[in-house]
Structure 1
């Protein structure tokens, strides 16, 4: 029996959400061999959906994605005038 693990996270970064989406999604698109099925969508908010059969892969993918979101947000904030 194979268990599937999944998670869905929604992020609202107000006026920065689209820029964060474009940054994070680019990383996701260029990693097709990712063992975790990852979908990132933008519709006023950023929605991240992940699914895998390995719990450790789910945790690692979420940690990486959330860190990328935080880094994108921090970078945008650091260049605001």
Structure 2
């Protein structure tokens, strides 16, 4: 069991699935991630992160939250 963990739930209404697809792809292509990260979708995005080291946990959360914000902003910028 890891020493540190965090769980974040994101609800971006109609944009949630598009954001999930964007951030989950990044997680799938980074298998050597030093944290145990699980991203799931069930009407909302649930991100669970576990790590033995607090700096790794913090870095992973910061990166994931920035990706969510960038995805949301990108969707908003092309809004018609």
TM-score range, shorter chain: over 0.9
Match of 2:27 in 1: 28
The DSSP-based 3-state class of the residue aligned with 2:47 is strand
Unpaired segments of 5 or more residues in structure 2?
none
Tell me the TM-score normalised to structure 1 length.
0.96
Cα distance, 1:3 vs structure 2: 5.8
Q: Which runs of 5+ in 1 are unaligned?
A: none
Corresponding residue of 1:57: 56
Q: TM-score, normalised by structure 2?
A: 0.97
Q: Tell me how many residue pairs correspond in the alignment.
A: 80
Query: Is the 2:2–2:50 Cα contact (8 Å) retained in structure 1?
Result: no
Greater than 4 Å deviation, 4+ residue runs: none
Q: 1:42-79 deviations in whole A, cap 9, x for unaligned? A: 00000000000000000000000000000000000000
